Amino acid sequence: MALFRVIRSSNPPIGLDFMLTDCFFFAPHRVNLRTQKRLAASVVGCGKRKIWLDPNEMNEISNANSRQTIRKLVSDGLIIRKPVTMHSRSRARELAAARRIGRHRGLGKRKGTKEARMPSQILWMRRMRILRRLLVRYRASGKIDKHLYHELYHLSKGNTFKHKRSLIEHIQKAKAERHRERVLKEEMDAKRAKNKALRERRLERKEAKQNALIAEAQE
């Protein structure tokens, strides 16, 4: 136990006919509640640092040496589980929102090289995945055939398209060019068929004239 010594003044207050000399008193010893805290943590289902013991009921709590008595103290409110400490993320959310629009990203905030902050390989992978997903979607929907898909796949792998918009524009131009070529081919085929039919009719008329002349000569 701790021992304290109190020495009062030699000039007592007015009205007191006595003087306090050296007097001694003992401070009460602090009760060890380590076992009770361990049992309470096991009963409540949390860590020992989350257990609160009522400082005004130390004697009653110290007599509790079983889980059943600990449960009774918990139900009586002498032992309480401390609430979960909340760490607000409002400031972190505000900072993240500011960084999304470009704040706090200047030269003074950058640590590491450009390649370390955003590797070019990662950018390449993202771009290729975007372009290839677009090609697969267009092929599945029938906007491009498998031959054009194969051609555009290798063009995108060869770094021809810097972004998705350029690929879409190239697809539109390629489809327009193919449509124009198909129309021209159909026109040429129709013209050839027409010329062929014309030649055949000429040959028929020529043969008919020759046959008529031969018949007249025989008569």
Does 124 have pLDDT greater than 90? yes
Does 73 have pLDDT greater than 90? yes
Closest CA to 133 of 158, 164, 176: 164
Question: Distance between CA atoms of 66 and 57, rounded to whole angstroms?
Answer: 17
Determine the 3-state secondary structure of 185 from DSSP: helix
Point out which residues pair with 61 in neighbouring strands.
none
Q: What's the confidence (pLDDT) of residue 218? A: 83
The answer to whether residues 191 and 163 touch, using CB atoms and an 8 Å cutoff, is no
- Percent of the chain residues topping a pLDDT of 90: 78
Does 1 have pLDDT greater than 90? no
Predicted confidence (pLDDT) per residue in 11-38, tens digit: 544 444 444 444 444 445 578 999 999 9
Q: What's the confidence (pLDDT) of residue 62? A: 94
Predicted confidence (pLDDT) per residue in 176-198, tens digit: 999 999 999 999 999 999 999 99
Predicted confidence (pLDDT) per residue in 76-92, tens digit: 999 999 999 899 999 99
Q: What's the confidence (pLDDT) of residue 108? A: 96
